[in-house]
Amino acid sequence: MTSTLVFYSKVDSFDDWKALLAPLLPEVRICTPEQVEDPESVHYVLAWKPPHGFFASYRNLKLLVNLGAGVDSLVNRDDLPAVPITRISDPDMGRMMASYVLFAVLRYARDIPAFEKAQREHRWHYLHPRLPSSTRVGVLGLGELGAYAANELARQGFDVRGWSRSPKQLENLTCVNGMDNLDGFIASSDILVVMLPLTPQTQGLLNAERLALLPEGSCFINVSRGAIVDQQALTAALASGRIGAATLDVFDREPLPPEDPLWAMENVLITPHLASVAIPASAAQQIADNIRRLEQGESILHQVDPGRGY
């Protein structure tokens, strides 16, 4: 019986993924849920945010591949199959995320918003550049993507500090860990970059009290998940100038509703959750390799535990 891989995503191109996976998995039929001919043949699922009950008819499923690096969409689900679950760990995703974070940090460190404002007002406005080492950048979360971005910022000469729940050691970075050190870490960040996974422990972590710890006029960058931050408190802090500016790629509701006050704030840059996405051309080989490893009885790579959020 030919094995079937089912692809599900409302934001990714089935045709692109199929074109790249098919040559790597010639023995596997690749299709959408609507194209499944025999549910019993479905051994693999490649999906992003599948609806509840999606897996019920795939009784012979062997592997679930989460179409992305973050697995928060799988946390607290009661319908997950009892099979290995992997995420995409793609160097191109790391580079894409690091370039976005570097852009956002440089934009503030080089006072680009002030020059954008001056241009709109037809006003010549000189601000003397500062050394990167004078800017303290706090990277909140040192997982695969967070560590990549933090290292790139350090390479550019910024004073980079990283925080994680458990101990980490990275060259050229000051690393702290544990909830006991979180408040002090936030308070010592001129620019705070949020790169934590969304888990039950991190949901709402950056509440009004913790946001108030940021230095007056500091900058805030969120490229992880909106639910980690109290968005109402962040909006209020930005409106008052307590937080000077923000670059936001993620929100507590997506798409961000047109009536949300963040849209109208001159000190906020909004992007539509695209800081880093899975690139089929570089991730397809990894998916095919894991399927082969599974069929040969070898341990699969990048396995995750949705119960812990990573």
Q: What is the pTM of this model?
A: 0.90
β-pair type (243-248, 85-87): unpaired
Under 8 Å CB-to-CB from 288, ≥6 apart: which residues? 21, 24, 25
If you compute the radius of gyration of the chain from its CA atoms, what whole number of angstroms results? 21
Low-confidence ranges of the chain (pLDDT < 70): 1, 306-310
Which residues are known catalytic residues? 225, 273
How many CB atoms sit inside 10 A of residue 239's CB? 14
For residue 280, give the nearest of 7, 31, 12 by alpha carbon. 12
Q: What is the pLDDT of residue 125?
A: 97
The whole-angstrom separation of Cα 265 and Cα 270 is 10
Same fold, 3-90+278-295 and 92-270: yes
Instruction: List the 159-164 sheet strands across, edge first.
Output: 174-177, 159-164, 136-140, 191-194, 218-222, 243-248, 268-270
Q: What is the pLDDT of residue 92?
A: 87
Strands (E), the chain: 3-8, 28-31, 42-47, 63-66, 85-87, 136-140, 159-164, 174-177, 191-194, 218-222, 243-248, 268-270
| The residue to which tokens 């690139």 are assigned | 279
| The residue to which tokens 């906020």 are assigned | 268
Fill in the amino acid letter for 53.
G
Q: What is the pLDDT of residue 70?
A: 74
For residue 283, give the nearest of 99, 95, 151, 143 by alpha carbon. 95
CATH of domain 3-90+278-295: 3.40.50.720
Q: What is the pLDDT of residue 114?
A: 98
**H or E segment to which residue 15 belongs:** helix 14-24
The whole-angstrom separation of Cα 247 and Cα 192 is 10
For residue 162, give the nearest of 133, 180, 141 by alpha carbon. 141
Q: What is the pLDDT of residue 14?
A: 97
Q: Domain map of the chain by residue range? A: 3-90+278-295, 92-270
Q: What is the pLDDT of residue 68?
A: 79
β-partners of residue 270 are 248
Contact 194, 224 (CB under 8 A): yes
Q: Which two tokens stand for residue 120?
A: 């709109």
| The residue to which tokens 């899975």 are assigned | 278
Q: What is the pLDDT of residue 171?
A: 86
Contact 239, 261 (CB under 8 A): yes
Report the sign of the C-alpha dihedral through residues 238, 222, 9, 85, in that order.
negative
Q: What is the pLDDT of residue 307?
A: 60
Contact 306, 85 (CB under 8 A): yes
| The residue to which tokens 């909140």 are assigned | 140
CA distances from 125 to 72, 105, 118, 302 (A): 44, 21, 6, 49
CATH of domain 92-270: 3.40.50.720
The whole-angstrom separation of Cα 98 and Cα 61 is 35
